[in-house]
Structure 1
Amino acid sequence: MESLDTVLAAHRSYLFGWNIGADGDPSLPTYRSEVPHATLNGVLRVAGPTPAEALAEARRRLRGVPRIWWVGPDSDAGTADGLVALGATEVARMPIMTMALAATAGTPTPAGVRISETDDLDAFVAAYARVSGIPPAGVPATVEREKAFDGDGTVIRLAGRRADGRIVGTAVAWLSHGLVTLYFVGTQPEQRRQGIGAAITRAALDLARERGAHTAALTSSPMAEAIYRRLGFRPVGEFRLLTF
């Protein structure tokens, strides 16, 4: 099982793949995609600068876009509370979860759903945008950033489709640093509670294992944590997400 430091490095490398802004630095790595969605612009860690110094610099770099601050185990102790004292707002706490891929639980694919890799970015992005909160006006920019994605790993995009071609579930599997990290795992609202999310997660893990990964990682929303636990994921840390 890879270390938590490796898991966090893989997470940073995926989000850096969206960056078209100024390069960050090890003490305050930032990424800026210009997509109007907070998760796709942000700060990844703080190591060295005081919260006041870091906040001033982050606001300068990310002025004009919605943004998020990922305060995790790789940030200096007290960072989150220091940022809140300076006016940042905590919006969520998300567990960092991992599992050994050999322990993947079997999950049936719902009848009438086919899960496969896709390169139809227009349909794929529109589907995950609807679930993740990217506004319709931001979909074209997100598609262009997906096309230009440039990270030190491999992106696998999986879509679950009905027989008529409609995408009902999505997942992005990021192979980097010897593990797979999952993003944009989601089911269209009218298709939920049918096992699609669990099935597409399982499919992504199976594909990653076939390509040599031994560990899987993700950050979970409260709604999805129980599903990931049933698949074998367990918490190993936590992100506190702040807006600023």
Structure 2
Amino acid sequence: MKAAEPVATSIHELLPQMANLRAHWLAWGGSSGLDADHAVYRSGLRHRLLNGVLRVRERPVEDAAAEAEKQLSGLPWRWWIGPDSDPGVAHALEGRGYARVGSMPIMAARLDKVPEPPLPAGLTVERVDVSEGPADYVDAYASSFGVGPDLRDAVIDAEAGLRTDLGLLVRLVGRIDGRAVATSAVLVSNGVAGLYWIGTDPAYRGRGIGAALTAAAMAVGREHGMSVCTLQASSQGLPVYSWLGFVQVSEVVLYSPPSVS
């Protein structure tokens, strides 16, 4: 994070939260700058989360869509619409044949006091040393995020090669008896701590592991001087995040372009 960036103090400051989200995904292969009015990222991997459009503003949606369709041709991708996009984008996309495929609450919490849920028996939480390879980290989140065996090696390589100029990324892995079973990551950028890749192996769910990994990521954000933590919640994670003190402050809506699964 640049030293000149102001630290957000309110969970209702949405623009830094959305800038953090853009920084996270642009690290996977951004073809535009963080502050671009048409922010597109392209990892080149065949995974719908790893390519997409993050916002469009102050330009015709038709032009932006035509450009994105060309840039992302042949890949699965999503168009994110959040509070930093122009009004009317969803309507324009639907008129072009895009389909709404879901939405996620944007949730935020203050970091004045980080929750400390009890650690499940046998759980240890470690920071990932990317120089040693993030294979365990990717394997631990693969089932939660639909990373199949055909993509595993490419995602590991991509994780190891993410851009580092958009913020400080700290990855965490949770282990039970030495086996990597859960993950979380925190990106310190744009004055907030953004949480990503929170997932637990299905065989280990229901033990409080996800809550422990989320709290550990929150603690990293506080350690780096942040006052606000932000994330986009799945339906499965929503009750966990609410229990940890997160509240919904907005939402992002996801659209799929025509002929893309």
TM-score by length of 2: 0.89
Which of 199, 211, 215 is equivalent to 2:224? 211
1:40 counterpart = 2:50: yes
Q: In angstroms, what is the RMSD of aligned CA positions?
A: 1.4
Secondary structure at the residue paired with 2:93? helix
Task: Answer whether contact 2:183 2:213 (CA < 8 A) is retained.
Answer: yes
- Specify the alignment match of 2:32 in structure 1: 23
1:156 counterpart = 2:170: yes
Which of 60, 73, 82 is equivalent to 2:83? 73
Distance 2:81 2:124 in 1: 37
1:181 counterpart = 2:181: no
Task: Answer whether contact 1:88 1:243 (CA < 8 A) is retained.
Answer: yes
Task: Answer whether contact 1:36 1:135 (CA < 8 A) is retained.
Answer: no
1:202 counterpart = 2:215: yes
Which of 123, 127, 134 is equivalent to 1:121? 134
Give the CA deviation at 1:201.
0.4
Give the CA deviation at 1:103.
4.0
Task: Answer whether contact 1:29 1:43 (CA < 8 A) is retained.
Answer: yes
Give the CA deviation at 1:64.
1.4
Deviations 1:80-120 (A, max 9, x none): 12202211111111011111111433311101111111224
Considering fraction of residues, name the structure with more helix: 1
Deviations 1:186-209 (A, max 9, x none): 010010110000011001111221
Distance 1:175 1:131 in 2: 23
Distance 2:233 2:60 in 1: 29
* Count of aligned residue pairs for this structure pair: 242
Which of 84, 93, 99 is equivalent to 1:83? 93
Task: Answer whether contact 1:35 1:141 (CA < 8 A) is retained.
Answer: yes
Secondary structure at the residue paired with 2:249? strand
Distance 1:136 1:64 in 2: 20
Unmatched 5+ stretches in structure 1: none
Give the CA deviation at 1:179.
1.6
Q: Which moved more, 1:10-19 or 1:44-53?
A: 44-53
- Specify the alignment match of 2:250 in structure 1: 237
- Specify the alignment match of 1:136 in structure 2: 149
Distance 2:187 2:227 in 1: 13
- Specify the alignment match of 2:5 in structure 1: none
Unmatched 5+ stretches in structure 2: 1-8
Distance 1:72 1:236 in 2: 11
